[in-house]
Amino acid sequence: MSFVLGLKCRECGREYPTEPLHVCEFCFGPLEVRYDYDGIKRVLTRSLIESRPANMWRYRELIPIDGDPVIGLHNGFTPLVRAENLGRELGLNNLYIKNDSVCHPTLSFKDRVVAAAVNKAREFGYDTIACASTGNLANSVAAHAASAGMKSYVFIPSDLELSKVLGTSIYESKIIGINGSYDDVNRFCSEIATVFDWAFVNINIRPFYGDGSKTFGYEIAEQLGWKAPDNVIVPVAGSSLITKIIKAFKEFESLGLIENVNTKIFAAQATGCSPVTTAIKAGKDDFIPVKPDTIAKSIAIGNPADGYYGIRVVKESGGWAEDVTDQEVIDGIRLLARTEGIFTETAGGVSVGVTKKLAEQGRFGKDEVTVLSITGQGLKTSEAVEDHLPNPVIIEPKLSVFKEIQSSL
């Protein structure tokens, strides 16, 4: 049973059938999935959701596929962690971490969007999946293609972290490094997509991909006991996730699953690639594209596809934005590890660093429910911290030797 009615242009409202389309041919606005919300409201209740297995498909009426999912069946429903130690350091009494650094199967929130996109691509009849990626999407596309028995081509900037490359090639995906930034890769892929009949998850089937992100928001609301938080801090790359979290809360509200959504959305970027946060801080409606230069490579998109809408959701929600230097990214990764025992990648370091900065600016009420989005795994970007940590002390297995050095550890 599907509740998808078709696609609709976000700008002019023109309607399109459920096809692999992503831009309006009249005004070039992005297309979004249209749902039969009245139909969903009649069937989807809190208790039905709670009766289902702990994965993203418990919200399946709100994920845009027609049949039953066949790929990525275990993705999502990651922990929402009460962060008392970090909260104490930041002066926040109700701080939570939504921890997608342990999302199944490739340890980033991209497993949500890819699960939605690959199932839809199969329904459309594609046998090949492709993407332009800053690393995590590549990992997830390659893994899901392998488990679906589909071919995959992933295009990445040639200078990505070793683990992001290895975490793609292990699945025997065709992996192509491009000399250039992600924005060059993306432009090139748009060209390839017009010639090859492949499902580019973040190009021609982007509307379906994007709605996989909503599950990050649904889970936060359910895990807070069916309540929207007061504040959410979100790391921003192409600006898909940041627009979908608030959409998730609003959908739950209109379906009667939660009440009183007044969530403020806060955007987090690295100073070396901050088109969205710079625009918000300057009070502008749109961003100026930049050339990325930061260790936070997974979110280094200088010309974000949904940047305009990302800026808008932050403004309309009454939130704000900040960016942090590479040193603050490293400090953020270490702060989260030291206080909460969670090892996140550079994008998570951005989230933590920005949350600290915003807390110092007094942007959050002390007792408000604040959710920090951790979207990726630290072991994938070990380069960022390896030179900042002490090496193990190497000794012979002798008690006397250990006793000698123990007090200086």
* H/E stretch holding 240: helix 240-254
Is the CB of 136 or the CB of 231 nearer to ligand PLP? 136
Cβ–Cβ under 8 Å, residues 116 and 208: yes
Q: Does 239 bind ligand PLP (CB under 6 A)?
A: yes
Give the number of C-alpha atoms closer than 13 A to the C-alpha of residue 158, restricted to the C-beta side: 4
Which residue is associated with the tokens 């982007």?
206
Sign of CA dihedral 65, 200, 159, 295: negative
Q: Using the rule CB under 6 A, which residue among 92, 97, 141, 237 binds ligand PLP?
A: 237
Q: Does 375 bind ligand PLP (CB under 6 A)?
A: yes
| x-or-dash string of contact with ligand PLP, 57-96, rule CB under 6 A | ----------------------------------------
Q: Does 148 bind Zn ion (CB under 5 A)?
A: no
Cα–Cα nearest to 206, from 286, 132, 145, 104: 132
Q: Of 19-27, 109-117, 135-143, 260-268, which part binds Zn ion (CB under 5 A)?
A: 19-27
- Min separation Cβ 35 and ligand PLP, Å: 20
Q: Which amino acid is at 318?
A: G
Phi/psi of residue 270, nearest 5 degrees: -85, 145
Is the CB of 257 or the CB of 330 nearer to ligand PLP? 330
Residue 12 near which of Zn ion, ligand PLP, none (CB within 5-8 Å, type-dependent): Zn ion
- Min separation Cβ 305 and ligand PLP, Å: 8
Is the CB of 94 or the CB of 136 nearer to ligand PLP? 136
- Min separation Cβ 114 and ligand PLP, Å: 11
Cα(75)–Cα(334) distance, integer angstroms: 27
Cα–Cα nearest to 175, from 185, 184, 165: 165
Cα–Cα nearest to 151, from 168, 167, 133, 174: 174
Q: Of 59-67, 175-183, 220-228, 239-247, which part binds ligand PLP (CB under 6 A)?
A: 239-247
Q: Does 25 bind Zn ion (CB under 5 A)?
A: no
Cα–Cα nearest to 106, from 77, 142, 80: 142
Is the CB of 244 or the CB of 264 nearer to ligand PLP? 244
Helices 110-124 & 136-148, crossing angle to 10 degrees?
Answer: 40
For 40-147, strand residue ranges (E) read: 80-82, 95-99, 128-132
Q: Does 6 bind Zn ion (CB under 5 A)?
A: no
Alpha helices in 270-395 (DSSP H): 275-281, 307-317, 326-340, 346-360
| x-or-dash string of contact with ligand PLP, 297-336, rule CB under 6 A | -xx-------------------------------------
Cα(214)–Cα(178) distance, integer angstroms: 30
Is the CB of 12 or the CB of 401 nearer to Zn ion? 12
Helix (H) and strand (E) counts for the chain? 15, 13
- Min separation Cβ 271 and ligand PLP, Å: 16
Q: Of 185-193, 215-223, 229-237, 384-392, which part binds ligand PLP (CB under 6 A)?
A: 229-237
| x-or-dash string of contact with ligand PLP, 94-133, rule CB under 6 A | --------------x-x-----------------------
Q: Using the rule CB under 6 A, which residue among 62, 80, 241, 261 binds ligand PLP?
A: 241
Residue 9 near which of ligand PLP, Zn ion, none (CB within 5-8 Å, type-dependent): Zn ion
For 22-84, strand residue ranges (E) read: 31-35, 80-82
Using CB under 6 A as the binding criterion, the count of chain residues that bind ligand PLP stands at 17
Binding site for ligand PLP (CB under 6 A): 108, 110, 136, 235-242, 298-299, 345, 347, 375-376
